């Protein structure tokens, strides 16, 4: 078994003195190994509960296999549960709750705690409830702390409400800056909404949580290289793209959708060219230079995912939403982004499937970029770490038409 790395030793030394803790360590830094060590040195644990993205648990090369690689848990009673199952199934939630209630000393671990977001969401409420019943609580998060400050309240509430000791409303008023946007649609019709544009009092926030959080960046000897592969939409895809753009930028449609139009609009516009012919041509050319067997292809849509799996059966085709988190793919070194994604955290996490502790080769990434405005907007906003809805809310209809 490999010797613990310095950051892993430091994390264990810091968190072993508390019953709750958080590892905000970049993907690939070895959080799973730390969790195994912390659980195994905690006395009298009679139940270990591991909750994480379903795909990371139920794949043959998923989290249980990685835990076994590090010697496994000494506790004989271990439960793995997909966070999606916990949300959707009352039976699974109640059965797990019963097991935790009956155990004397439960150690609960939430992997990829970035999934704990909306405080009112069912999954968040259920996780907090299970945490309240557990003696020891640990969260693992591969996204840097500064990238998701708004989500901290729910995550700290899971660990212990005593850490922040304030309500969600107080948290927002203390640490968040708001901007009000009003959009008018002719006549007397208008729509107003507040959204977060920044954060304040960050030093105070860090002082409240610093004892329970360990942070570190990923430092490897191998390098990362990024390239762009340009493709051209076929005539039919471009026609459908332009039709959808005009349809959704219609005044009546904007008003009817109450600004939720942006998610639906971009999804359908991007889907219109998801499997345009030239995307396959440029990847075919790339596979004359690299090996499909050593390549991940990330897709956003079912049709692009199924088509890629059919065209290149030797490549590993993954979904952003289901498989960008948690999986250890260090035996691969190439990544193709067949479809773009607005979500900065998903983009960072997807790149860390290959660039992680144990990787022996340089990691290479290729972005497929089409000849339409939406593709450039996604790239620009990923680089600026701006979300889709946040970007579109500050734009007029005329500006959107020109940029798209």
What string of H, E and C letters represents the secondary structure of the chain?
CCCCCHHHHHHHHHHCCCCEEEEEECCCCCHHHHHHHHHHCCCCCCEEEEEECHHHHHCCCCHHHHHHHCCCCCCCCEEEEEHHHHHHCHHHHHHHHHHHHHCCCEEEEEECHHHCCCCCCHHHHHHHHHHHCCCEEEEEECCCHHHCHHHHHHHHHHHCHHHHCCCHHHHHHHHEEEEEEEEECCCCCEEEEEEEEEECCHHHHHHHHHHHEEEECCCCCCCEEEEEEEECCCHHHHHHHHHHHHHHCCHHHHHHHCCCHHHHHHHHHHHCCCCCHHHHHHHHHHCCCCCHHHEEEEECCHHHHHHHHHHCCCCEEEEHHHHCCCCCCCCCCEEEECCCCCCHHHHHHHHCCCCCCCCCCCEEEEEEEECCHHHHHHHHHHHHCCCHHHHHHCCCHHHHHHHC
pLDDT digit string, tens, across residues 140-174: 987 656 556 778 899 999 999 999 999 998 998 89
Taking each helix axis from N to C terminus, what angle separates 31-40 and 6-15, rounded to the nearest 10 degrees? 40
Structure-block tokens of residue 270: 């991007």
Section 234-249 average pLDDT: 91
Percent of the chain surpassing pLDDT 70 = 83
Q: Rounded distance, CA 345 to CA 385, Å? A: 9
Query: Which has the higher per-residue pLDDT, 179 or 140?
Result: 140
Q: In the prediction, which pLDDT does 29 show?
A: 80
The number of residues making up the chain comes to 404
Higher pLDDT, 101 or 399: 101
Residue 220 predicted with pLDDT over 60 = no
Q: Is the pLDDT of residue 72 over 60?
A: yes
Give all domains of the chain, ordered by start, each with its CATH number. Answer: 6-166+205-216 (3.40.50.10810), 224-403 (3.40.50.300)
Tell me the C-alpha distance between 234 and 249, whole Å.
Answer: 23
* pLDDT band with cut points at 50, 70 and 90 for residue 232: very high
Q: Is the pLDDT of residue 259 over 60?
A: no
In whole numbers, what is the pLDDT of the chain averaged over residues?
85
Cβ-proximal residues to 289 (8 Å cutoff; 6+ apart), any chain: none
User: End-to-end distance of the chain based on CA atoms, in angstroms?
Assistant: 52
CA distance 194 to 346: 25
Whether the predicted pLDDT of 368 surpasses 60: yes
This model's pTM is above 0.75: no
Q: Is residue 100 a contact partner of residue 94, using CB atoms and an 8 Å limit? A: no
pLDDT of amino acid 146: 55
At 231 the pLDDT is 96
Res 229 pLDDT > 70 = yes
Contact present, 393 and 181 (Cβ < 8 Å): yes
């Amino acid at each position: 078994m490999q010797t613990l790395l310095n950051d892993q030793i430091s994390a264990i030394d810091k968190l072993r003195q508390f019953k709750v803790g958080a590892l905000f360590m970049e993907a690939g830094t070895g959080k799973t190994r730390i969790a195994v060590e912390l659980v195994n040195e905690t006395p009298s644990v009679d139940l270990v509960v591991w909750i994480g993205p379903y795909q990371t648990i139920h794949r043959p090369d998923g989290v249980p296999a990685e835990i076994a690689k590090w010697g496994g848990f000494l506790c004989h009673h271990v439960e793995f549960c997909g966070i999606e199952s916990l949300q959707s199934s009352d039976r699974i939630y109640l059965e797990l709750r019963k097991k935790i209630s009956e155990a004397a000393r439960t150690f609960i671990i939430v992997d990829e705690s970035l999934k704990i977001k909306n405080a009112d969401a069912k999954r968040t409420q259920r996780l907090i409830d299970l945490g309240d019943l557990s003696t020891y609580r640990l969260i693992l998060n591969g996204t840097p702390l500064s990238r998701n400050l708004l989500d901290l309240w729910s995550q700290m509430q899971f660990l212990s409400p005593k850490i922040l000791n304030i309500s969600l409303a107080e948290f927002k008023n203390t640490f968040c800056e708001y901007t009000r946007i009003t959009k008018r649609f002719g006549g007397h019709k208008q729509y107003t909404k507040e959204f977060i544009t920044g954060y304040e009092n960050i030093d105070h926030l860090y002082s409240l949580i610093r004892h329970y959080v360990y942070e570190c960046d990923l430092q490897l000897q191998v390098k990362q290289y990024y390239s762009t592969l340009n493709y051209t939409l076929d005539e039919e895809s471009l026609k459908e793209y332009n039709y959808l753009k005009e349809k959704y930028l219609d005044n009546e449609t904007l008003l009817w959708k109450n600004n939720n139009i942006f998610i639906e609009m971009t999804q359908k516009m991007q889907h219109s060219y998801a499997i345009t012919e030239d995307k396959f041509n440029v990847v075919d050319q790339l596979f004359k230079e690299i090996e499909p067997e050593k390549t991940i292809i990330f897709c956003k849509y079912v049709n692009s995912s199924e088509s890629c799996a059919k065209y290149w059966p030797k490549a590993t085709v993954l979904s952003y939403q289901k498989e960008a988190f948690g999986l250890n793919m260090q035996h691969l070194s190439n990544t193709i982004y067949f479809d773009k994604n607005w979500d900065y955290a998903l983009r960072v996490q997807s790149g860390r499937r290959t660039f992680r502790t144990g990787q022996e080769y340089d990691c290479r990434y290729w972005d497929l970029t089409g000849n339409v405005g939406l593709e450039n907007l996604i790239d620009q906003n990923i680089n600026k770490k701006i979300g889709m809805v946040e970007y579109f809310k500050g734009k007029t209809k005329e500006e959107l038409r020109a940029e798209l």
